[in-house]
Structure 1
Amino acid sequence: MSQKPDWLVAHGTPWKAGEPRRVYDNPWIAVTEQTAVAPTGKPALYGLVAFKNRALAILPLHDDATVTLVGQHRFPFADYSWEIPEGGGPLDEPPLAGARRELLEETGLEAEQWTEILRMQLSNSVTDELAIGYLATGLTQSQAEPRGDGTEDIARVRAPFREVLDATMAGHIQDALTVAMLLRGYHMAREGLLPDALARGMLE
């Protein structure tokens, strides 16, 4: 990871949080409401969504510069979404262990090499959800059948990286982690951070 630039520092006064009041709770999230004081000194009422799992994303990049995507209906937007394999991992579980499980469950793939390439705060104005993204290479198909969590009806497709990136830039793929991970993969290919043959295949 490159050194942090000198200008990348905090400025001003941080938020001051009052006592939280739990207003909703389920196995995946908790919503709290609390009084707060903004950095400007103005009183504020804040609602915070706390996630009980860490978001995990995997970019499964095959040796021929293709990517495996999964497709499923997503409830909040009532639409169909093509994405890289993603899921949630318990906060007390090593993130890589969760990523390995999600890749296997959603695609049936196993990877020899795992590289953490991204950390994201997914919506840091209202949630504390942290995402960790991995590049998975050296892929092989497991003997195990892919399986969802009981609510997932997942389709799978393997497509050229550049074709997937172009579809994303055209707005056909809108999942935030997928967009970010594809751009990170593209950056790595452009900057010589991947094997030459693989990078050429991704950029063509």
Structure 2
Amino acid sequence: MHHPENNPWKITSEKNIYDNPWINVTEYQVINPSGNPGIYGKVHYKNLAIGVLPLDDELNTYLVGQFRFTLNQYSWEMPEGGGPEGTDPLASAKRELLEETGLKASQWTEIQRLHLSNSVSDELSILYVARGLEQFEAEPEETEQLIVKKIPFTEMYRMVCDGEITDAMTVATVLKVQLLLTENRL
């Protein structure tokens, strides 16, 4: 009998379907766990997904608003971006926070790592809380048209609970931070 934690999938062939600087798509011919032939596609992300929840001494945070091309809608979320594979994720988090909000932080806490869509991709996100904030000038990328607003963390938590914020990394981080604050662990 096959142990459930061992890989039951057998790859018989693979074919590169698409490749750009950010993603690679591979199509696999497989023998699935029931022993039948099948097909599986995987999106490989060439960057880590990085998210930062800045939190000041009065428990205010910063929301970043932007139009998301893939969703064809406006999205409010915490500062987020990518960090190239093989680079320090914390350095990427510091860069993203400064780019999007103009903030620098003296205290950083990694609060969780998540796989964002493990049925079709291997995208890994690393999520941080940034404290000890100091304001500088934002440095957005040319592809970003951002609105940044400072709000109480309690308002951000309400927006998550009411479904006004739907970005997965932001939702997971806000819920985790609310738990940590409730348990006096942050």
- 2:9 aligned residue: 15
Q: CA deviation at 1:36?
A: 1.3
The answer to whether the Cα contact below 8 Å between 1:56 and 1:89 also exists between their aligned partners in 2 is: yes
Following the alignment from structure 1 to structure 2, what is the Cα–Cα distance between the partners of residues 123 and 18? Answer: 24
> Percent of aligned positions with the same letter in both sequences?
49
- 1:126 aligned residue: 120
Q: CA deviation at 1:43?
A: 1.9
- 2:182 aligned residue: 190
TM-score by length of 2: 0.94
The answer to whether the Cα contact below 8 Å between 1:12 and 1:39 also exists between their aligned partners in 2 is: no
* Deviation digits for residues 106-159 of structure 1 (CA, Å, limit 9, x no counterpart): 0000001001101000000000100000110011112xx212221100100011
Alignment of 1:65-76 (within 5 A): 65-76=59-70
Q: 1:12 to 1:98 in 2, by over 3 A?
A: closer
- Aligned equivalent of 2:169, options 177, 180, 191: 177
Q: CA deviation at 1:39?
A: 2.1
- Aligned equivalent of 1:108, options 102, 105, 108: 102
- 1:149 aligned residue: 141
The amino acid that maps onto 2:124 is: L
Following the alignment from structure 1 to structure 2, what is the Cα–Cα distance between the partners of residues 158 and 31? Answer: 38
- Unaligned segments of structure 1, at least 5 residues: 1-8, 195-204
Q: Equivalent residue of 1:96, what SS?
A: helix
Residue 90 (structure 2) pairs with residue 96 (structure 1)? yes
Q: 1:13 to 1:49 in 2, by over 3 A?
A: closer
Provide the alpha-carbon RMSD of the alignment. Answer: 1.4
TM-score by length of 1: 0.86
Q: CA deviation at 1:19?
A: 2.5
Following the alignment from structure 1 to structure 2, what is the Cα–Cα distance between the partners of residues 81 and 189? Answer: 25
- Unaligned segments of structure 2, at least 5 residues: none
Aligned residue pairs total 184
